[in-house]
């Protein structure tokens, strides 16, 4: 394991405690804000979510010429070729929350608080801190990154980019955690992520400002929706929705044999139910990353994606299909943009989490502990 599980003293940025803003902000009415559009298990089973466009398959995905590849790369990007043997020998691990040591849990939460306490880059106004740079990035990319086949690809790189910034700017040295939501389906509120006051704060059944946990009193300045008005962090749990984040739904989606069909099921299925089940800000399609639990939810989504890939690694890490929001077929050279927080990449660079592609001096190389 590349990142030691032993105790570390975080860098100075974390040592300053990076206090989460405590200025009071009101809860806002989210009733008019677009939320995620879930599909029922039965509808997914019947394939009612499928789009005809998903049949657009890129078959010759590994034979692009070097000249074409270089022409697709934006100026200033730093992405090199695969280094699979080195990655296989020494991958980074993502550790499920139940196996994640208490010291690592605190280090992860404190690193997020550190980002909240750091100044914004200035590239994503009106973000008021570095964490909100990520929220604004997500908001600005709507609807390009939802409701089409780019969804899983963009969010895979988004989560990895967030991890790298935690490491580079806030001294985070532990493995990244992930959350197996299938083990908490229908009872999210009972997870110690929410019940232990050291972590993410509680899951109330009414839309109240979160006053417990590490992010108590957090003021969110991006959103709701496409607006940007200061408001407090709120949640409204609905366990009838979180119950759909179960292994049966994951297995149904992962039984689909091509990427676009699987991604459609994932996004409209347990992904949407998880967001809406936690509720309030997490159900806001544009600004859901305002809630720090967003990253744990999307670790679950990426894990499901990787498990699907493991079913046919040779094909599912080297080919892609589906279309973007404009109906343009995805290829292995379709670009994924991250607002210059990290280099722009091609699909081929991030499709295989064990590919070991060097992105901005860091190997894109990780696996899940199960």
Closest CA to 351 of 364, 338, 337, 368: 364
Distance CA 86, CA 82 (A): 9
Residue 247's Cβ-count burial label (10 Å; 0-12, 13-18, 19+) is middle
13 Rama class: left (phi>0) / alpha (psi -120 to 50) / beta:
alpha
3-state secondary structure of 333: coil
**CA neighbours closer than 13 Å in the CB half-sphere of residue 280:** 23
**369 within 8 A of 93, measured Cβ to Cβ:** yes
Closest CA to 108 of 96, 119, 91: 96
Mean model confidence pLDDT for the chain? 89
Please report the pLDDT score of residue 200 as a whole number: 98
Q: Is the pLDDT of residue 2 over 70?
A: no
pLDDT tens by residue, 317-330? 999 999 999 999 99
Q: Work out the average pLDDT over 225-230.
A: 96
Q: Which helix (H) or strand (E) holds 117?
A: helix 102-117
pLDDT tens by residue, 233-284? 999 999 999 999 999 999 999 999 999 999 999 999 999 999 999 999 999 9
**Which ranges in 230-289 belong to alpha helices (H)?**
239-242, 247-254, 259-266, 272-278
Please report the pLDDT score of residue 120 as a whole number: 98
Two structure tokens written together for 131: 């964490």
Q: Work out the average pLDDT over 220-227.
A: 97
Q: Give me the percent of the chain exceeding a pLDDT of 90.
A: 82
Please report the pLDDT score of residue 204 as a whole number: 97
pLDDT tens by residue, 243-256? 999 999 999 999 99
Place of tokens 């100075």: 12
Q: Is the pLDDT of residue 301 over 60?
A: yes
Q: Give me the percent of the chain exceeding a pLDDT of 70.
A: 85
φ, ψ dihedrals at 303, nearest 5°: -60, -45
Q: Is the pLDDT of residue 178 over 90?
A: yes
pLDDT tens by residue, 16-67? 444 454 556 989 888 889 999 999 999 999 999 996 434 434 443 433 333 3
Place of tokens 């994924």: 336
Please report the pLDDT score of residue 32 as a whole number: 86
The residue that leads in pLDDT, 77 or 112, is: 112
**170 within 8 A of 164, measured Cβ to Cβ:** no
Q: Is the pLDDT of residue 145 over 60?
A: yes
φ, ψ dihedrals at 209, nearest 5°: -60, 140
pTM: predicted TM-score of the whole model, two decimal places = 0.89
Give the length of the chain: 370
Residue 91 makes CB contacts below 8 A (sequence gap 6+) with 2, 354, 365, 366, 367
**286 within 8 A of 229, measured Cβ to Cβ:** no
Give the CA diameter of the chain.
56
* CA dist 88 → 61, 64, 160, 219, 278 (Å): 22, 25, 18, 42, 36
Q: Work out the average pLDDT over 6-16.
A: 40
- pLDDT band of 70, cuts 50, 70, 90: very low
Two structure tokens written together for 346: 């091609």
Distance CA 100, CA 5 (A): 9
């Amino acid at each position: 394991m590349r990142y030691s599980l032993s105790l570390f003293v975080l860098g100075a940025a974390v040592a300053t405690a990076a206090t989460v803003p405590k200025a009071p902000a009101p809860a806002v009415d989210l009733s008019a804000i677009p939320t995620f559009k879930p599909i029922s298990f039965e509808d997914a089973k019947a394939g009612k979510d499928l789009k005809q466009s998903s049949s657009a398959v890129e078959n010759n995905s590994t034979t692009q010429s070097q000249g074409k590849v270089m022409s697709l790369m934006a100026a200033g990007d730093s992405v090199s070729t695969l280094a699979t043997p080195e990655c296989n020998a020494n991958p980074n691990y993502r550790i499920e929350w139940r196996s994640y040591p208490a010291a690592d849990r605190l280090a992860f939460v404190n690193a997020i608080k550190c980002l909240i306490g750091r100044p914004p880059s200035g590239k994503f106004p009106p973000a008021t801190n570095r964490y909100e740079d990520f929220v604004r990035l997500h908001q600005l990319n709507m609807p390009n990154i939802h409701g089409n086949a780019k969804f899983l690809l963009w969010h895979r790189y988004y989560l990895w980019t967030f991890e790298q910034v935690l490491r580079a700017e806030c001294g985070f040295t532990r493995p990244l955690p992930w959350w197996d939501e299938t083990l908490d389906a229908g009872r999210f509120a009972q997870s110690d992520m929410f019940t232990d006051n050291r972590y993410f704060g509680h899951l109330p059944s009414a839309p109240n400002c979160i006053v417990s946990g590490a992010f108590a009193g957090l003021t969110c300045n991006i959103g709701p929706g496409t607006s940007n008005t200061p408001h407090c962090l709120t949640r409204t749990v609905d366990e009838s929705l979180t119950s759909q984040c179960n292994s049966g739904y994951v297995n149904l989606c992962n039984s689909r044999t091509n990427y676009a069909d699987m991604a459609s099921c994932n996004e409209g299925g347990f992904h949407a139910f998880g967001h809406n089940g936690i509720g309030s800000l997490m159900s806001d399609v544009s600004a859901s990353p305002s809630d720090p639990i967003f990253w744990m939810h999307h670790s679950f989504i990426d894990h499901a994606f990787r498990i699907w890939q493991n079913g046919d690694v040779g094909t599912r890490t080297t080919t892609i299909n589906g279309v973007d929001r404009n109906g343009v077929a995805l290829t292995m050279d379709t670009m994924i943009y991250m607002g210059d927080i990290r280099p722009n990449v091609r699909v081929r660079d991030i499709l295989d989490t064990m590919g070991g592609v060097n992105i901005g001096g860091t190997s894109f190389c990780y696996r899940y502990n199960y």
